[in-house]
Structure 1
């Protein structure tokens, strides 16, 4: 990281940033181009894994199966800092960037766990049911974090 003065290493603060984010962007290599898609997510802190869900077909699913690796980014706490001169403007934020192995989840119990992580993050606590027919149609994806960097300009 170039700006070490903005680096966050405290695991509690990193978790706060993850908790505050509503959207994560996952990025894939697609030939000579990058393919980036925004997703909602859940985080399994113990397993250091993010979970996503969606349709079982499409470009994202093809790239997961093809590459098995992805980058990710999330950010929050945005605030424009104004000044009298253009060069004095700045932007406050907190962000996380990382990469890791990404796979489709096939096991029904892990699918339920992944969906529970997503529902916990997006909707808070509660008990959720996932009927078997819906579970079979829903793609659940796990990204195992191999590298994660957090940064803040506050």
Structure 2
């Protein structure tokens, strides 16, 4: 992945990556089809780990098995991801001295549809743990059969942060 232009804003701390993953509600998927490039905001669950300085990020999403998003995924498994949080306008003394505070993760990887019921349940459990951590998790077979679950193996990602001074 290309190096970040403003190195001072790059996130290196795994705990800050975990905070961003926990705080964000939506990941935006960058997909491509015959009509062009498009973005889809979706809720997600995740696995994030760091071992021997190596970080891994896996995202889980769900959705319909048909439509533009599903067709694009079936045609091309490459995907870009972006999520951001802690939005705040930083005021200035004049127009061009205003700025914006945020935290973000951007990356790219490969998306695949999960087929096995146990894989789908795992992915949906991750989504529920992220969005509704106190909810009781149970699955009805007839719903699980018609729900599409996707796993995104994020191969390269970076984090960036702009804080209020």
Match of 2:53 in 1: none
TM-score (norm 2): 0.89
Match of 2:113 in 1: 104
Match of 2:83 in 1: 74
RMSD after superposition: 1.3
Offset at 1:45?
A: 2.1
Offset at 1:103?
A: 0.5
* Aligned match for 2:9, one of 6, 10, 24: 6
Q: Distance in 2 between matches of 1:32 and 1:10?
A: 38
Q: Distance in 2 between matches of 1:38 and 1:32?
A: 18
Q: In the alignment, does 2:131 pair up with 1:122?
A: yes
Match of 1:145 in 2: 154
Q: Distance in 1 between matches of 2:43 and 2:85?
A: 14
SS of match in other structure, 2:144: helix
Q: In the alignment, does 2:145 pair up with 1:136?
A: yes
In structure 2, runs of 5+ residues without a counterpart are: 50-55
In structure 1, runs of 5+ residues without a counterpart are: none
Q: Distance in 1 between matches of 2:161 and 2:48?
A: 21
Q: Distance in 1 between matches of 2:57 and 2:97?
A: 38
Worse overlay, 91-100 or 48-57: 48-57
Q: Distance in 2 between matches of 1:133 and 1:32?
A: 34
* Aligned match for 1:27, one of 9, 30, 44: 30
Whether the aligned pair in 1 keeps the contact of 2:22 and 2:130 (CA below 8 Å) is: yes
